[in-house]
Every structure is written in C-alpha cells, then in structure tokens.
A and B are shown apart, each in its own frame.
Chain A
Amino acid sequence: MGFLDINNVTKSYGAVEVLHKVDINVEEGEFLVLVGPSGCGKSTLLNMIAGLEGITSGEISIKDRVMNGVHPSKRNIAMVFQSYALYPNMSVGKNITFGLEMHGTPKEEREKALKDVASLLQIDHLLDRKPGQLSGGQRQRVAMGRALVRDPDVFLFDEPLSNLDAKLRVDMRTEIKKLHQNLKTTVVYVTHDQIEAMTLSTRIAVMYDGYVQQLGTPKEIYDTPENVFVATFMGSPAMNVMPATVEMIEGAPHAKISDSEGNHVTLAFAQDNLADWAGKEILLGIRPEAITDPEAADRDSNRIEKLANRVGVTEPSGADTFVTMTLGGKDIIARMRADTTVAAGEMFDFAVNMEKAVAFDPKTEARIKP
C-alpha cells in the first residue's frame, strides 16, 4: 500500500467508459506526472482524486483512508488549477487564507501561515492586491500559495503552467521542482507537455485513450517505452519508428531497412532475443540523438553501427542541428552537433547507437522485450 492508492479505478459517463481500470500507487514524497494528449482521461483522473468527479468503480485512498464519496474539502488535498481559479473579489491574502477560514482555523494561525507561505513564495508585497492586478507568474505563485498554506497530504496540479509564456513556463517549472525538493510533499501533476513530465517527475504515467500506457521513472519511459505510442509521445523530436525486417547475419540479428536510394542496409541489433523474429517484420525505433556523426557517437556504447545515407534537409537549431533523411520509407530525424559539416543532398556516414534502439511488434505495437 502506498501513500496515495488508485486501485482499479474506472470512470464512465453513461455507457461510455473514459477511464479503464487505472492502477497507480504513489509513495509519500513522490512527484507523479500524468501525461497524455487531450482527451486521454488524465484530468478526469485528477478530478477523481480531488473528489470533484465521482468514481464509477474501484477505490482511491489517501494514507490508507478510502476517499470514495468523501467531500473534496475533507480529503486534505490542495489543487492548483490551469486558470489558477483565484477568487477575483478577494485580495491575495484573502485568497490564500480562504481555505483555512472555511476550515475554522483561528485568525492568528491564519495570519502566521499566510506570512510563512508569502515569504516562501516571495509574494509578501502582493498580499493586498486583487488577482486582476497581478501578472501571470504572480497569479501562479498565489495559486501555489493557496495550495501550500493548507499543508495538504497531496498536491494536485492541473496543467498549471500552460497559461504562461514560454520563458516564464521554464522558470516556474524549475521553481516547482525546487519547491518539491524542499518540501518533499506528494504531488500528482497533470500535463500534456512531455518535457514538463520528464523534467519534474519522479515517476510518469503516460495515458492514452483512458488507459495508462506505461508507468515508470522518466528514464524507463524514455529509454524503454512499452509501445509505439509512448515511444513517439515522449521526446522531442519524437522517436523515429520505421518498418524493418530481422535478418540473421553470422548468427546475429540485424535490422534490414531500405535507405534513401532503395538499397538495403543492415544494422546489427544489440538485443539478442530478436533472433526469434528472424525473417519477420518489426518496427524499429531509434531516438534522434542515437543517430549522429561518427565523432559524436556515444563512446560508452558497444554497438555503434555505420550507416551511409543521403541527407535530406538540415535544420540548425542553435544547440543542435537536426538532419532529416529517408529510411525505411519514412522521414528520419538525426540530432547532430551544432557545427557538424553535413550538407543537404550529399551522402553522409551516420553513426547509429543500436544499444538505444528498440523493436516493436508491428501487430500489437508493444515493445519486444529483451
């Protein structure tokens, strides 16, 4: 039993089931991120933890106390909303202490709690203002202050950064991470931004279509995605997925792919059990950063394969140069050093780190595990 247990929870609206048997145990102090595209059920799940939506079947418990049917205010949770949901008619100070007031906390304690939170978030000078007079970042802080002041068991964040501009979003992301490191509270955080998920979380639940596709640490999710959806959803640019045939050369499994000229190239797998798939079609997944120029290839890898192919487009982004080529009939992106000498239209010797390659069953789209 964890700190926050979600056991076999489903949610239906009428005959339509939007969440199917979700099972997640969150330990105390964990930062769980629910990530997925719109409509995957992540916000619904968060609202169910908060008690804002009913649970159709299954059980949610916090600190071993079953929360089904318990009013949101009695769950000892706090929530930060996407729009911040600050009460427009109240001052910042009132906004933060409203929850305490509703729970009957005496005035002196409220004042003290307010002072602590305000200095923690550096919003002391804003306490008398109305939310309408604050900037986006300041509102965000107030919303977090309102959650912090309650000292809840679980923090729930519903896409809290999506209303901020790009630069502020990165700053606030770091700040949330810092806050979590200092306070060591349990957090459930919903986002559709996979970078937020990777950077903030201790564990990620990737959701799609009402199912948890994969639950694991950011590294597990990134390096060993359970299926093609997780592989392509996480990471930017997305993982390259191309059709390939497994061919045995000198007793070792190789991926046979057609290159930009239509010729067959082979790349030796680092994963031995793919010998079982000899002669069959698979989907080969390679992250862009695993395809580089030979000089930049990972020196710790035992399986760097050479791949000569024609360069399609080069896109310098400053820090890296993205190189697009055709492989297996798909556009494949490679992430190169910024000052690489690759030129569009020419042949180039790419280095592919096959230790990082993953293979998927083309029928089920599930990963073929080593």
Chain B
Amino acid sequence: MSVASQDNAASVGRVGRTFVYLTLLLFALFYLLPFFIMLVNSLKPLGEITGGNMIALPQDWTIAPWLSAWSTAQIGVEPTGLKPYFWNSIRMVVPAVVICTMIGALNGYVLTKWRFRGDTIVFGLMLFSCFIPFQIVLIPMARILGILEISGTTAGLVLVHVVYGIGFATLYYRNYYAAFPTELVRAAQIDGAGFFQIFYRILLPSSGPITVVCVIWLFTNIWNDFLFGASFASGDAAPMTVALNNLVNSSTGVREYNVHFAGAILAALPTLLVYIVAGRFFVRGLMAGSVKG
C-alpha cells in the first residue's frame, strides 16, 4: 500500500501538486470569505459600511457594535441586546442535550444488549422520528405544550427538542453498541453486575467517541433551530436565533449592519466553539463501529 501511494505521489509531480494546493487554497478562501466579511464589518463604524467598501479592513477599529449587539441593541421593543436570549438558548440547549444523550445511550444499550421481541420495530419507529419534517408536528406540539402548560417557556422548548433528538441519539448509540462485544456484558452478568451497573461501569466509559458525536450533533441542531423557537417561545423566552432575527428586523430608522454582523457571529459562536474543542473526535466517532479494529 505505502509503496504504491509513494509511486503515485511521485508521478503527480511538482506542477500537479502546485495546482492541487492552489485549488485547495482558492476553495478555502472562497469558504472563508463570508466569515471574513462578517468579522471585518462587525469591527467597523457604521459609516464605513454605508460609505461603500465592504471588503476593506476597518480604518477605525471598534468593538462598539459587539457591545451593542450583546447588551444594548433593540430586540423587538426592548433595548436589551442579545444577552438574555443567549442565556435562554443555553438554558434550552444544555438540558436538552444532556437528557437526549442519556436517554439515547440507554436506548442503544437496551436495543443491542437486552434485545426483546419487536425491538427492531421499536428502533425503526424511533428512526422514523428523525425523518418527520418539523412543520408537520407544529400544531400537535403546540396543543401538547398547551395541555402541559409549558407553552412559550424554555421548558417547553427543551421538551420539543428532546422529543426530536432522541431518535438521532438512539441511532448513534445503537449502532455504536451493536459493535460492542456482547461477551463483555455476559462476563459482567456473571460477575454480578446489574442492568444499570453494566451500563455505567462497562458501556458508558467506552462510549467517549460516540458521545462526542452525539453532543456535537444535538448541540448544533438545537442551538441553530429557528422554527420551534419562533413558534413556541417568542417573547422573553425566545432563543438566540429568534432574537437575532428580531435584532435584524427591528430597526429604529438606520440599519446597523455592523451590529447585525456582530450579533450573527455571537449567535454562531457556541457551535463554532463546540466544533473546535471536540471536532477532532467527531470523525473518529462517526467512523467507530463501521470499520472493525
């Protein structure tokens, strides 16, 4: 294998390699351009943007737009900035991700190591939930939240996201645990470990990679959700995405593009951070179980 690939590398030659790197560089720049524009313009006074050149670096560097977006910008009728909504999102995402991951892991454990009659059907139905479009459940969900008296609250949003997230979390953990040797579970049974002891002591400690995948996936999806946030929690309980929309839409005359850019980056920052911190485990976890050894 290695000999063959060296041969290939040699035969591509210097010109070919330069071409490859140039192309890659070009694409990288292309993908980075929007982010660059956002960043640059969020650090300019408004006058420089309306004055024309969006791509130029700021002549007058300022973090005022960031401060404004965070704490004083007009969101709807209140000049609160995005701060309270940022914490709304955190209060929504963290419990939802934790609950989903725990239930998903437990589901995966039961569906692979404590098989029962009809378990594949149960799993199939759970998978089905991954593919139901959000719009379809809006009205029934609104009704249920109403009955539970948590409509318009962060708790309501947590419930909605947990319900949607369990399908994916179960899928991840089931496939991961399917490759987990059943002999280990049997050995633990003989050793006298019970249902939950086997789960906590044997399976969970070996679930690092898939947990990272699951958490990144759920965190990103739930943080970025707009539809459920806008439908079930507008007003004080609105999550970051909805607040960002309101920030952009509620103008007091002048459109403060620099503040909007800063707000958009703030809204994207947590998911970005999660990727940077845990991203290298992401691919590793996705591959786990698919290839043996």
Contacts and interface: CB of A to CB of B under 8 A. Distances in A.
Interface of A: 50-52, 71-74, 77-79, 81-83, 85, 87-89, 98-99, 102-103, 146
Given A88-B206, A89-B202, A89-B205, A81 B193 contact: no
B140 interface: no
B202 A73 contact: no
A85 B181 contact: yes
Given A85-B184, A89-B205, A98 B193 contact: yes
Contacts of A146: 187, 191
Contacts of B186: 50, 52, 72, 79, 81, 85
A79 B192 contact: no
B206 A98 contact: no
Contact of A83 (B183, B193, B201, B206): B183
Given A81-B186, A85-B186, A89-B202, A102 B181 contact: no
Interface in B194-216: 197, 201-202, 205-206
Contact of B191 (A51, A52, A88, A99): A99
17 contacts: A50-B186, A52-B186, A72-B186, A72-B189, A73-B190, A73-B191, A74-B192, A83-B181, A85-B186, A87-B184, A87-B202, A88-B184, A98-B188, A98-B193, A98-B201, A99-B191, A99-B192
A93 to B, nearest CB: 14
Given A72-B189, A73-B189, A99-B190, 4 more contacts: A52-B186, A87-B188, A88-B206, A102-B192
Nearest to B203: A89
B202 A103 contact: no
Nearest to A71: B189
A73 B206 CA distance: 23
Contacts of B191: 73, 98-99, 102, 146
B183 A81 contact: yes
Contacts, number: 56
Nearest to B184: A85
B190 A77 contact: yes
A123 to B, nearest CB: 18
A28 B202 CA distance: 33
A102 B186 CA distance: 14
Contacts of B206: 88-89
Contacts of B188: 87, 98
A103 B187 contact: no
Contacts of A50: 186, 190
B187 A73 contact: no
State the 9 A-B residue pairs at the shortest beta-carbon distance, nearest first. Answer: A73-B192, A99-B191, A102-B192, A89-B205, A85-B187, A85-B183, A81-B183, A72-B190, A72-B189
Interface residues of B, number: 16
Nearest to B205: A89
A172 B202 CA distance: 28
Contact of A52 (B184, B189, B197, B201): B189
Contacts of B192: 73-74, 99, 102-103
A26 to B, nearest CB: 18
Given A85-B183, A87-B184, A102-B197, A79 B190 contact: yes
A162 B197 CA distance: 30
Nearest to A156: B190
Contacts of A102: 191-193, 197
Contacts of B187: 79, 81, 85, 87, 146
Contacts of B181: 83, 85
B293 to A, nearest CB: 12
Interface in B169-195: 181, 183-184, 186-193
Interface centre among B183, B189, B190, B197 (most CB of A within 10 A): B190
A98 to B, nearest CB: 5
A82 B187 CA distance: 11
A98 B205 CA distance: 15
Contacts of A51: 190
A103 B189 CA distance: 11
A77 B191 CA distance: 9
Nearest to A83: B183
A155 B3 CA distance: 49
A82 B186 CA distance: 12
A81 B191 CA distance: 13
Nearest to B207: A89
Contacts of A103: 192
Contacts of B205: 89
Interface centre among A73, A83, A102 (most CB of B within 10 A): A102
Nearest to B191: A99
A353 to B, nearest CB: 45
A54 B55 CA distance: 72
Contacts of A71: 189
A1 B192 CA distance: 28
Contacts of B184: 85, 87-88
A82 B183 contact: yes
Contacts of B201: 87, 98
A71 B187 CA distance: 13
A107 to B, nearest CB: 16
Interface in B241-267: none
Contacts of A79: 186-187, 190
